[in-house]
Amino acid sequence: MIAAHLPALQIVLPLAAAPLCLLLRRGTLAWALALAASWAALVCAALLLRQVLISGPISYELGSWAAPWGIEYRVDAVNGFVLLIVAAVGAVILPYARTSVAHELPEEQHATFYTAFLLCLTGLLGVTITGDAFNLFVFLEISSLSSYVLIALGRDRRALTAAFQYLVMGTIGATFIVIGVGLLYMATGTLNMMDLAERLPPLAGNRTVLVAFAFLTVGTGLKLALFPLHFWLPNAYAYAPSVVTGFLAATATKVSVYVLLRFFFTVFGVGYSFEVLSVGKLLIPLAAIAILVCSTVAIFQNDVKRMLAYSSIAQIGYMIMGIGFATTTGLTAGILHLFNHAMMKGGLFLALGCVFLRVGSVRLEALHGLGKRMPLTMFSFVLGGLSLVGVPLTVGFISKWYLVQAALERDDWILAVVVLVGSLLALVYVWRVVEAAYFKPAPEGAAKVEEAPLSMLIPTWVLIGASIYFGIDTSLTVGVARQAAAQLIGGAS
Amino acid sequence: MHRHSVLRVTTKLLMPFILLFALYVQFHGDFGPGGGFQAGVIFGAGFILYTLIYGVENARRVAPEPVVRVLIAFGLLLYIGVGYAGLLLGGNFLDYFVLAQEPEKGQHLGIFLIELGVGTTVAATMVTVFFTFAGRGRP
């Protein structure tokens, strides 16, 4: 009986835990409940993905109202994979959260923090699982509103302006998305994605549909920090509490990339998005600029969190480039990089959280000599950094390998070179951190620094370990990514 | 606001009607325009009017912070609880058909409880947001 209801449980287990956390009031109890809920969500996601890979897409009718009238949850290889990414990152980060949150937030905010965290997790999972365009918007708002709160909890006062900036940009993005969905509804009279996919092709010349496409592209572009629309991201990541930065960097933008994939490939269809409107010609140059410009900007950052935030925008560029190719290899690279980037960037931000716990700052000067004083933390950072660069035997290499392959399939040497130059630039900014940590002596009279506690080191190493493991054994990730890509290219699943 | 007798008396006179109207919108929402969200906003607005005229301290005595906080969570839990009830009675999540013997009765009961949950959370959240801003700079 439970197996049949997994799609609903995936969402409502964390959702039910959120108000309970608020009632518990005690930080530790709320943390334990949030931990249980996030692990339950991970189990649901793993079972769902397994079921999808064995027996094809799963559909669930909420309230027993049949689609397309009722809200349908629909899991296929694409969103099954994204669900697993989001749930896994949530489940790994919560054990880490306890120490980090206790250090960075005042006692009375702990229960509220876990409530907001669970709501954010619920929203992200909901956006991913739903098969209804309007429901997607509702979940997007749940995740966005809670992430504004989470960012604003940062200890630095600038966290408030960063959260406000994100709130303004995020709200514009969400409004664009709801306008797009509204226009689609106007043109077709339906909100169910599968139903939309059937009704849209005859309307290919319709101007309402064209405008809807434009609104959805720009709105989603804002949420996923596509190159010229990324200005909210560096501040939001830099000033949020460490746990929040790690969680959002690994999940929020990935889910937005998934939304883009879903609208381009499933709802509008490859033919309309990439042949009639040739959106690829817009996405690929923007992605290339993102890779080059934001990697370069990252080199000049002295705050390591900010450096990684700019690096995130560049990495999103790799995903968007893969999607822009609209070939099976390109999409495989893009979807693969969703997972790979979540692992390495999540791990890197968690390592920075460990540094912040012990040193109280993540500026480059504060890292001097840390290679000796916090060896485990800094070594995990180095491994994550190597993965960002794309050194063989790391996940970063696998993504770039497929991406370069996809570029060469189109005989596009320039883009292949852009990807490689991006790697070199990544080497430069990662090296700046390595240099500070390993080759600069600790300042005279610096306070003694201990290694971070195990409760934080283990989650960090799980993510970093995953970014090495899946760089060596790629059967699971590449297999699922390829199946997902084939499904998207093949049209409506 | 101690001198503005007109405002104070009018507010006191209007209060029961505002709250009653909120309850009407809440419970008549099944048959006419209305529902939990609108009712919650009207109910919350009633409290906000009272706070504006009589001050935060008096309003807090009627709606203490811990109680309001519990109500926020309670409304959402009621909503989710109805969803789980559908699951446990053999239907899908949020399935109202299985809540009573006859499907129509089940639908009626389901939407009634769900809207009650929405109304509670919306009213409590509005009051909390207002208290938070109005109480700034006070102990």
Cβ-defined contact of B95 to A5 (cutoff 8 Å): no
In a domain, B139, yes or no: no
Closest CA–CA distance from residue B11 to any residue of chain A (Å): 33
Instruction: Check residue A151 and give its pLDDT.
Output: 93
Q: State whether residue A61 is helix, strand or coil.
A: strand
Cβ contact (<8 Å) for A19 and B80? Answer: yes
Q: What pLDDT score was predicted for residue A364?
A: 87
H or E stretch including B109? helix B103-134
C-alpha angle with apex A55: A54 to A59, nearest 5 degrees? 130
CB contact under 8 A, A19 and B73: yes
CB contact, 8 Å: A5 with chain B?
Answer: yes
Q: Which residues of A210-238 are buried (b: 16+ CB within 10 A; e: fewer)?
A: bbbbbbbbbbbbbbbbbbebbebbbbbbb
Contacts of B77 in chain A (CB under 8 A): 16, 19-20
Our CA angle for A249, A396, A403, nearest 5°, is 105
Q: Report how far residue A485's alpha carbon sits from residue A255's, in angstroms, rounded to the nearest whole number.
A: 16
Q: Tally A–B CB contacts below 8 A.
A: 45
Residue A437 resides in a domain: yes
Q: How many domains does chain B have?
A: 1
pLDDT of residue A295: 94
A21 → chain B, closest CA residue: B73
A148 in a structural domain: no
The per-residue pLDDT of chain B, averaged, comes to 88
- All residues of chain A having their beta carbon less than 8 Å from the beta carbon of residue B70 are 23
Using a CB-CB cut-off of 8 Å, the residues of chain A touching B84 are 12, 16
Alpha-carbon distance A16 to A374, whole Å? 39
Residue of B nearest to A119 (CA): B76
A303 in contact with chain B, both atoms CB, cutoff 8 A: no
Q: Which residues neighbour A331 within 8 Å (Cβ) at sequence distance 6 or greater?
A: A261, A322, A323, A325, A484, A485, A488, A489
pLDDT digits (tens, 9 = 90+) for B4-20: 889 999 999 999 999 99
The reported pLDDT for the residue numbered A492 is: 42
Cα separation values, B7 from A66, B13, B85, Å: 53, 10, 47
Model-wide pTM > 0.90: yes
Kindly give the parts of chain A with pLDDT less than 70. Answer: 1, 445-446, 491-493
Chain B nearest-CA distance from A2, in A, is 9
Which range (A151-165, A477-491, B60-74, B106-120) has the least confidence? A477-491
> Could you give the ipTM of this predicted complex?
0.90
Buried b (16+ CB within 10 A) or exposed e, A299-309: bebebbbbbbb
Q: Which two tokens stand for residue B70?
A: 């519990």
The Cα of A18 is separated from the nearest Cα of chain B by a number of Å equal to 8
Tokens linked to B61 = 């005595």
pLDDT mean over B26-42: 86
C-alpha closest to that of A397 among A342, A341, A351: A341
Cross-chain residue pair B77–A20, CB shorter than 8 Å? yes
Nearest to A41 by CA among A105, A125, A123: A125
Please spell the DSSP secondary structure of A371-403, one letter per residue: HHHSHHHHHHHHHHHHHHHT-TTSHHHHHHHHH
What residues of chain B have any CB closer than 8 angstroms to a CB in chain A?
69-70, 72-74, 76-77, 80, 83-84, 86-87, 91-97
A33 close to A24: Cβ distance less than 8 angstroms: yes
In a domain, A241, yes or no: no
The answer to the question of residue B31 being in a domain is yes
List A residues 134-193 in contact with B (Cβ-Cβ < 8 A). none
- Containing domain of residue A308, as a range? 281-493
Do the Cβ atoms of A269 and A491 come closer than 8 Å? yes
Rounded to an integer, the average pLDDT of B52-63 is 88
Residue B93 to residue A62, Cβ atoms within 8 A:
yes
Estimate the crossing angle of helix A395-409 against helix A375-389, to 10 degrees: 10
Chain B residues touching residue A5 (CB < 8 angstroms): 87, 92-93
Instruction: Judge whether B120 lies within some domain.
Output: yes
- Residue A74 backbone phi and psi in degrees, to 5: -135, 125
pLDDT (0 to 100) of residue A400? 92
Using the predicted structure, report yes or no on whether residue B136 has a pLDDT greater than 80.
no
Run of H or E including A52? helix A27-55
pLDDT of residue A493: 41
Do the domain assignments include residue A481?
Answer: yes
Residues listed for chain A: 493
Q: A326-364 burial, b for 16+ CB within 10 Å, e for fewer?
A: bbbbbbbbbbbbbbbbbbbbbbbbbbbbbbbbbbeebeb
pLDDT of residue B1: 58
B73/A12 touch (CB, cutoff 8 Å), yes or no:
no
Is B72's CB within 8 Å of A20's CB? no
How many independent structural domains does chain A possess? 1
Residue B96 binned pLDDT confidence (cut-offs 50, 70, 90):
confident
Any idea what DSSP says for residue A66? Answer: P
- Give the tokens for residue A286: 């923007």
**How far, CA to CA in Å, does A230 sit from each of A145, A233, A314, A346, A383?**
18, 6, 10, 19, 27
| B80–A22 C-beta distance less than 8 A | no
A22 in B contact zone (CB under 8 Å): yes
- Does any CB of chain B come closer than 8 Å to the CB of residue A3? no
* Residue in A223, A241, A242 with CA at minimum distance from that of residue A233: A223
Decide: B42 and B21 in contact? Cβ < 8 Å.
Answer: yes
Closest C-alpha among A9, A28, A30 to residue A122 = A9
What is the structure's pLDDT at B138? 61
- What is the spatial distance between Cα B120 and Cα B74, in angstroms, rounded to a whole number? 8
Q: Is residue A70 assigned to a domain?
A: no
A63 — contact with chain B (CB < 8 Å)? yes
Domain of residue B14, residue span = 5-134
B43 part of a folded domain:
yes
Out of A16, A62, A64, whose CB is closest to B80? A16
What residues of B are in contact with residue A12 (Cβ under 8 Å)? 80, 83-84, 93
